[in-house]
Amino acid sequence: GETAGDAAAAAEAAAALNIKIHTVPVTRSLDNTEVLLEGINAPDTVPVSTAHEITVLAKSSAAAEGIITIFRDGVYYGEDRVVLEPGLNAFPYRSVLDTPGPHSYEAVLDSFDDSTVTNNTAVAVVTAAGQVLTLDHAVEALIQPRRLL
């Protein structure tokens, strides 16, 4: 069942980008620690070449350690060793998108304390909007403000 957000709208957006969605039943074992990625909070749209934040949301049934690896547009972007407290944990990351259009972020959580690894991936799509405008000195001189007499 749907517990947060709008799953139908997210599925439609993913389908428009040819992203496949796989569902996995989540069960909780009382004997084992379970860590999972709840999702990635990210803005829908950001201006090109402007810093923005994505936040990886991870849940854990007990204290645990792990490594979050981030991929942007399918390319390794970085990783972070994290300590998970019981409950929901938020890990913010900054990024800048220099080319217009949709860009994907994928987070993968690896933990030795985890009992089920099939729920340790989350994806978000951010669209960089706008164009980068550069002026050379000749054009810049033409558009300088003029003082009226």
Give the strands of the sheet with 35-41, arranged side by side: 35-41, 51-60, 87-96
Length of the chain (residues): 149
CA distance 59 to 86: 7
CA distance 78 to 71: 7
What is the bridge-based pairing of β-strands 87-96 and 51-60?
antiparallel
Note down pLDDT in tens along the chain; length 149 residues.
Answer: 556 677 788 888 888 887 877 666 555 555 688 999 999 999 999 999 999 999 999 999 999 999 999 999 999 999 999 999 999 999 999 999 999 999 999 999 999 888 888 999 999 999 999 865 555 555 555 555 544 44
Could you tell me the pTM of the whole model?
0.69
DSSP label of 41: E
Report CA Rg, the chain: 21
User: Contact at 8 Å (CB) between 55 and 93?
Assistant: yes
